[in-house]
Copies of this chain bind each other. A is one copy, B any other.
């Protein structure tokens, strides 16, 4: 199924992020015609930018390519539940559907905590589909943090 291959691409971005020493999260944005218009992994450490979560990096690239701050009809696939920052950015961009993998009780802002889409201040609430490829995404994160704990080098989550 198409959505599975998009999530596979997001997982590949997550793995590549982990290999760069970033928290392994990846995202893909798909245009209404099915084209992948952006794919990115987390780059907060590399760029010293706390906003460079996978979703934001992909969103900025897709908006730049489209020449628009809104991506009406576009869908986003991300390996981990978006945090409040990313959820609000996706709402601002009018993303149509958000497919995410693993739940994130610690830092999530869609099904946890701020639940950004559930307030009228979001102006737009994407349709949300969770749990797609969630086990693979969660396993990537577990492996990443277990390795960092083993080397005494843990530095918190993606937060």
A107/B84 contact (C-beta < 8 A), A69-B49, A70-B50, A93-B50 known: no
Within 8 A of B (CB), among A43-70: 44-45, 47-51, 56, 59-60, 63-64, 66-70
A36 at the interface (CB under 8 A from B): no
Set B49, B83, B106, B122: member contacting A88, Cβ < 8 A: B83
CB distance from A66 to the nearest CB of B (A): 7
Please tell me how many copies of the chain the complex holds.
2
Q: Give Cα distance in the complex from A44 to B49, angstroms.
A: 18
Size of chain A's interface in residues, with CB distance under 8 A? 44
* Chain B residue contacts of A114, Cβ below 8 A: 84, 88, 109, 114-116, 119, 121-122
A89 at the interface (CB under 8 A from B): yes
